[in-house]
């Protein structure tokens, strides 16, 4: 591998969705802005042809053709292409492990189709964790947010203790060890890939009003607070638990590096409301760097070819910066 370039690989996701369009458009825009990057785009060549600027295809951008299994129509899911989608992830992951790529960036896929095909699949985060053989990874989204127009944006990062699971399962999934390991992964990865040696982390409670002193639930007293105290004893800059309805404030971004939510919607609703379409999903705790967009396949929009590729561009940007920071910290 040519070490003078940052090598990024994109998996173009569900072929019937907006993934192929935003992948090649963001890649072309990104290499125009960054001369020290090479992007490898995985997917069926024919999916990219309508959006391809031939003059941009060069040493900096290559399409690595992976043929579709079944016919594809924009906006219409085809069950038989589920293995194709997973093959893109497998190929990109293996390339990262073998150091052919420095980081992988994933376009959205359709989880329901993969499960309907008969393959157990919860999401990118869990799938890659299983491939890596790691018992714990952390899902973190980040995005630049502005409080008022024309004001310089601030970076908001939201990590999750639990990811894609039913609400009824969350109460048994949240344990002292689970929260503590999440905090440790955040600490290590924020220090390595974002250059913040001692990130300040605010932790949300699980119940309304963070349990109201035990009157609205005892998880804060019996699980979350003990985990925070253990993390503090290890030297982590962690505070909480805070009521989730008041924790996610724009003013807090001046002194908070990461918000930690207990479950998916608790953390992602405020993040996506503040920066939807330009946010980035990051998997912390893997042996590789992986980022993704903050949205889904948008099947209805795929037919028009007018999807906004800003989130994919931002995902490339964050992966690029993580590679740079990770290299400098070793």
| Angle, helices 124-132/82-97, rounded to nearest 10 degrees | 50
Please state, in angstroms and rounded to a whole number, the distance separating the CA atoms of residues 316 and 36.
13
Question: Quick one: pLDDT band at residue 45, thresholds 50, 70, 90?
Answer: very high
The answer to whether residue 103 scores a pLDDT higher than 80 is yes
pLDDT mean over 125-139: 92
Upper half-sphere CA count for residue 184 (Cβ side, 13 Å)? 13
pLDDT mean over 166-193: 96
Check residue 321 and give its pLDDT: 96
When mean pLDDT is compared across 46-55, 100-109, 138-147, the lowest value belongs to: 46-55
Q: Rounded mean pLDDT of the chain?
A: 92
Q: CA triplet 169, 208, 213: central angle to 5 degrees?
A: 105
The answer to whether residue 125 scores a pLDDT higher than 90 is no
Q: What percent of the chain has pLDDT over 90?
A: 79
Q: What domains, with CATH codes, occur in the chain?
A: 1-134+286-330 (3.40.718.10), 135-280 (3.40.718.10)
The pLDDT tens digits of the residues spanning 243-265 come to 999 999 988 999 999 999 999 99
Q: Kindly compute the dihedral angle of the four CA atoms of residues 18, 21, 24, 27, in this order, to the nearest 10 degrees.
A: -60
323 sits in which H/E element:
helix 310-328
Check residue 36 and give its pLDDT: 94
The answer to whether residue 121 scores a pLDDT higher than 90 is no
The answer to whether residue 58 scores a pLDDT higher than 80 is no
Check residue 288 and give its pLDDT: 97
Check residue 179 and give its pLDDT: 98
Q: What percent of the chain has pLDDT over 70?
A: 95
């Amino acid at each position: 591998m040519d070490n003078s370039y940052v090598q990024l690989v994109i998996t173009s996701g569900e072929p019937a969705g907006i993934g192929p369009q935003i992948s090649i458009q963001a890649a072309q825009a990104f290499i125009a802005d960054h001369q020290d990057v090479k992007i490898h785009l995985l997917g069926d060549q024919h999916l990219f042809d309508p959006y391809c600027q031939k003059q941009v295809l060069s040493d900096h951008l290559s399409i690595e053709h992976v043929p579709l299994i079944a016919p594809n129509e924009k906006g219409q899911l085809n069950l038989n292409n589920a293995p194709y989608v997973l093959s893109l992830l497998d190929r990109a992951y293996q390339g990262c492990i073998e150091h052919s790529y420095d980081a992988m960036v994933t376009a959205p896929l359709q989880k329901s189709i993969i499960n309907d095909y008969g393959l157990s699949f919860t999401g990118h985060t869990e799938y890659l964790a299983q491939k890596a053989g790691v018992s714990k990874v952390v899902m973190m989204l980040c995005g630049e947010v502005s409080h008022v127009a024309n004001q310089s944006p601030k970076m908001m990062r939201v990590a999750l203790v639990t990811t894609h699971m039913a609400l009824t399962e969350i109460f048994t999934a949240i344990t002292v060890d689970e929260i503590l390991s999440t905090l440790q992964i955040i600490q290590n990865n924020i220090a390595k890939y974002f250059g913040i040696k001692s990130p300040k982390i605010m932790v949300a409670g699980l119940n309304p009003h963070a349990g109201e002193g035990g009157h609205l639930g005892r998880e804060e007293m019996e699980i979350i607070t003990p985990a925070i105290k253990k993390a503090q004893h290890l030297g982590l800059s962690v505070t909480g638990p805070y009521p989730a309805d008041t924790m996610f404030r724009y003013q807090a971004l001046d002194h908070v590096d990461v918000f930690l939510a207990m479950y998916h919607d608790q953390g992602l609703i405020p993040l996506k409301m503040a920066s939807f379409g330009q946010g980035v999903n990051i998997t912390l705790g893997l042996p590789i760097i992986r980022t993704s967009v903050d949205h889904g396949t948008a099947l209805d929009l795929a037919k028009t070819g007018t999807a906004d590729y800003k989130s994919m561009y931002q995902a490339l940007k964050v992966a690029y910066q993580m590679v740079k920071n990770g290299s400098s910290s070793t």
